[in-house]
């Protein structure tokens, strides 16, 4: 399923490349009876039977089981929008949907498309349809796209999307779909020869009503660490089940391919008598957005707040490889950690190398490592691949400075709240300052700071910033050692500029 948007966009040329097995090949190799076009209508857990409808014959029958594994997946949510059932409105969940979209594009050659919903599938479809020459608009009801990302990190992705001439309508809802437009609730009309719904999914568990199997509020199947449901001998996995979050300990749906594959293996082991357990999921995911990559693992700032968990955060800006080596690309890293330094979550947006850094941080979260462990990690280094202090090491160093009180941060969202007794100081060069700065700032380059100490009032709070917070940190140490009260802008001007430019 993960390859479907890329087949629609022509990146994957051959439809057969999306097929792992056919019913015939699965039977030939594993002697498994695969029954396509057969729908389970209900489960009777007390009698250990399932009622099945054979769509090809139009007949119902009962099937007995000794052990039952439930992996029904989820179905796309279709919002109650006038016109949502029109022929040019599609969801993308399976190969049939993929063929329908490809066929519509080939037959009608749409010039414009509206993607309703800015999740992973929606963004992947936006990129692939754009690469096919279609004019794209994305309509998202919340304040930013890609819900696993926090808004401060989403700014970089949204700015990139807009740079590719894609219309991005945030905090917006579709009110009506006509034959050639999507009309937003605020009255905006957007041209749409084809509409893709990417508005989330719901567990496909209606057939489990009255089965005796416990379900959650959304209809998700509740399982234990052996992936067993409330009914002995019945197991569940995948997009329809709720597993334990390894950071918060709460039950949640994690509709990602990697965790589901591991769940399938563990469920098989348990059924066959092995003492196996599923320790939980952390939601590690990654997406390509044109020339950018965005990746997350563990908890977001939003989810930590929602769970009333205390946390600290750091931003770092690094290059993907040694900065002097050709092809170095900028990488923005957000790290979330608790008061003891344990890593709770991480988000990265950048170019090459995002994938390997998020994997290191995912491993750190799984192993309950601390920011000090990140500092000590010995990671592969040569100029074409990294820096002597890898971006992961740097994230650990900055987080350590914050936790130890060496770096006292403030954040882009705090700039409007700077107290009247505060002074905002830009410690970049005059050239950098003249090319763009935060309103109200005075410019004192860090290399001239010592000789200008008398120009700053010790009775006032000093708010420092530079491009990426490194020079701001040096300025902070100079001033703090001389008795000033300071804060340094985490992430620097780059994070501030992304926030302002994206509004």
CA 194 to chain centre: 26
pLDDT given for residue 425 in this prediction: 98
pLDDT given for residue 164 in this prediction: 97
Task: Give the pLDDT band of residue 503 (cuts 50, 70, 90).
Answer: confident
Q: pLDDT (tens digit, 9 = 90+) per residue, 44-69?
A: 999 999 999 999 999 999 999 999 99
| Alpha helices by DSSP H, 88-150 | 95-108, 120-131
Region 114-135 average pLDDT: 96
Task: Give the pLDDT band of residue 35 (cuts 50, 70, 90).
Answer: very high
* Alpha-carbon span 71 to 264, nearest angstrom: 9
Sorted by sequence, the CB contacts under 8 Å of residue 456 that are 6+ apart come out as 423, 425, 444, 462, 479, 484
* β-pair partners for 63: 50
2 is an active site residue: yes
CA atoms within 13 A on the CB side of 366: 15
Q: pLDDT (tens digit, 9 = 90+) per residue, 216-271?
A: 999 999 999 999 999 999 999 999 999 999 999 999 999 999 999 999 999 999 99
- Identify whether the C-beta of residue 222 lies closer than 8 Å to the C-beta of residue 216: yes
pLDDT given for residue 502 in this prediction: 85
- Identify whether the C-beta of residue 159 lies closer than 8 Å to the C-beta of residue 43: no
First to last CA, the chain: 34
Residue 432 token pair: 């950098």
pLDDT given for residue 278 in this prediction: 97
Mean pLDDT of the chain: 96
How far is residue 306 from each of residues 152, 249, 303, 310, measured CA to CA in Å?
Answer: 17, 14, 5, 10
pLDDT given for residue 420 in this prediction: 83
Q: pLDDT (tens digit, 9 = 90+) per residue, 291-340?
A: 999 999 999 999 999 999 999 999 999 999 999 999 999 999 999 999 99
* Alpha-carbon span 345 to 283, nearest angstrom: 10
Q: pLDDT (tens digit, 9 = 90+) per residue, 367-397?
A: 999 999 999 999 999 999 999 999 999 999 9
Sorted by sequence, the CB contacts under 8 Å of residue 62 that are 6+ apart come out as 49, 50, 51, 52
- Identify whether the C-beta of residue 252 lies closer than 8 Å to the C-beta of residue 277: no
Does the pLDDT at position 419 exceed 90?
Answer: no
Q: pLDDT (tens digit, 9 = 90+) per residue, 301-312?
A: 999 999 999 999
Percent of the chain with pLDDT over 70: 100
- From the list 2, 34, 367, 382, the catalytic residue is 2
């Amino acid at each position: 399923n993960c390859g479907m948007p890329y087949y629609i966009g022509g990146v994957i040329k051959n439809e057969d490349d999306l097929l792992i097995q056919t019913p015939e090949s699965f039977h030939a190799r594993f002697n498994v009876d695969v029954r396509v076009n057969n729908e389970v209508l209900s489960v009777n857990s007390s009698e250990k039977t399932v009622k099945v409808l054979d769509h090809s014959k139009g007949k119902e029958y009962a099937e007995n089981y000794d052990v039952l594994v439930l992996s029904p997946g989820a179905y796309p949510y279709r919002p109650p929008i006038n016109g949502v059932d029109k022929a040019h409105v599609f969801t993308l969940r399976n190969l049939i949907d993929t063929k329908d979209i490809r066929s519509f594009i080939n037959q009608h050659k749409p010039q414009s498309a509206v993607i309703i919903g800015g999740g992973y599938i929606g963004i992947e479809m936006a990129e692939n349809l754009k690469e096919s020459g279609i004019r794209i608009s994305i309509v998202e009801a919340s304040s930013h796209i890609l819900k696993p990302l926090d808004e401060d990190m989403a700014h970089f992705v949204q700015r990139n999307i807009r740079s590719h001439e894609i219309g991005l309508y945030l905090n917006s809802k579709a009110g009506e779909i006509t034959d050639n437009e999507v009309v937003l609730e605020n009255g905006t009309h957007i041209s749409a020869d084809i509409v893709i719904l990417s508005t989330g999914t719901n567990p496909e568990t209606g057939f489990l009503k009255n089965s005796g199997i416990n379900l959650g509020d959304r209809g998700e199947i509740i399982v234990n660490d052996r992936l067993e449901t409330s009914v002995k001998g019945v197991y569940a996995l995948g997009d329809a089940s709720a597993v334990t979050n390894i950071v918060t300990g709460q039950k949640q749906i994690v509709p990602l391919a990697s965790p589901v594959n591991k769940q399938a293996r563990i469920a098989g082991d348990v059924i066959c008598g092995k003492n196996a357990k599923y320790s939980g999921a952390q939601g590690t995911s990654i997406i390509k957005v044109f020339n950018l990559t965005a990746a997350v693992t563990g908890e977001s700032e939003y989810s930590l707040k929602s769970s009333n968990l205390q946390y600290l955060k750091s931003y770092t800006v690094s290059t993907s490889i040694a900065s002097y080596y050709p092809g170095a690309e900028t990488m923005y890293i957000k790290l979330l950690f608790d008061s003891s330094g344990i890593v709770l979550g991480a988000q990265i947006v950048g170019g090459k190398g995002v994938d390997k850094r998020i994997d290191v941080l995912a491993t750190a979260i799984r192993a309950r490592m601390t920011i000090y462990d990140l500092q000590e990690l010995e990671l592969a280094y040569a100029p074409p691949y990294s820096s002597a202090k890898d971006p992961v090491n740097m994230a650990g160093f900055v987080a350590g400075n914050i936790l130890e009180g060496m770096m006292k941060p403030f954040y882009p969202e705090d700039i409007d709240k700077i107290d009247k007794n505060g002074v905002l100081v830009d410690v970049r060069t005059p050239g950098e300052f003249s090319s763009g700065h935060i309103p109200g700032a005075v410019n004192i380059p860090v290399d001239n700071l010592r000789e200008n100490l008398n120009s700053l009032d010790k009775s006032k709070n000093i708010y420092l910033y530079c491009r990426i917070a490194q020079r701001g940190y040096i300025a902070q140490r100079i001033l703090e050692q001389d008795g000033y009260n300071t804060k340094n802008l985490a992430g620097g001007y780059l994070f501030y500029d992304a926030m302002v430019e994206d509004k």
